[in-house]
Amino acid sequence: MNDEVHMFTFLHNIKCQYGGQCDDNDPKHLSEYDHPDYCIDEGNCQNVHQQHLFAYRHLPLCSDGFNCSKYLKRDNDHCKEFRHCKSMCPYDNCCIQFHDKQHFENTIHSFRLPCPFTPYNCSMYVEFIQTGNTNKISSEVENHCYKYSHVCPFGHQCKTKDEKHFETSIHIARRICSDIDKCL
């Protein structure tokens, strides 16, 4: 708007770049920047997708998640102050806690349920990555490798950009063997 009278009469706040994920409670910041409204689901919100978290402000997550005794007892005061849902694992596709049942039940990861034999003892995954051509792999091996996630042998150095690979692979930090040509 180019109306000078309007511009000098009214304040126009700028939208905060962090949207609903802003955790700056400084009064000066809050008066200078606009923030989105709170999510209408309040403490019952289970949506942890980035777009939703950016579009709306939310109550803080309870550190005990679904295992919170106050949540299980439906303590109304507590549930009005905190959300109880699975949070995104901060390490997501690089998470080393993939065999920790409690961690996996309480956090969201972008990969599928991990194979109980990964990273070293899954013969089907070894066959899958060594064959390379899905036409030569049995359907049992292929189904297993698409149903469960396995630790990618290249870890953080993985160059694969395929979406299916990220759904079925865990990319933990690994060092490349210095004897790569001699190592069995």
Please give, one letter per residue, the 3-state secondary structure of the chain: CCCHHHHHHCCCCEECCCHHHCCCCCHHHHHHEECCCECCCHHHCCCCCHHHHHHCECCCECCCHHHCHHHHCCCHHHHHHCECCCEECCCHHHCCCCCCHHHHHHEECCCCCECCCCCCCCHHHHHHHHHCCHHHCCHHHHHHHHHCEEECCCHHHCCCCCHHHHHHEECCCCCCCCCCCCCC
Q: For the chain, give the mean pLDDT.
A: 87
Taking 80 as the threshold, does the pLDDT of residue 135 lie above it?
Answer: no
Is 80 exceeded by the pLDDT of residue 133? no
Instruction: Give 41-91 pLDDT, tens digit per residue.
Output: 988 898 888 899 999 999 998 888 888 999 999 999 999 999 998 888 889
- What's the mean pLDDT in 152-179? 83
Provide the residue ranges of all domains of the chain, joining segments of one domain with +. Answer: 4-85, 92-170
Q: Quick one: pLDDT at residue 2?
A: 66
How many CB atoms within 10 Å of residue 136? 9
Query: Among candidates 109, 102, 60, which has minimal Cα distance to 85?
Result: 60
Contacts of 18 (CB under 8 A, 6+ apart): 24, 54
Checking if the pLDDT of 153 tops 90, the result is: no
Contact criterion met (CB below 8 Å) for 21 and 88: no
Q: Shortest CA distance to 156 belongs to which of 89, 107, 92?
A: 92
pTM of the model: 0.65
Average pLDDT of the segment spanning 93-122: 89
Residue 1 has pLDDT above 60, yes or no: no
Q: What letter represents residue 121's amino acid? A: N
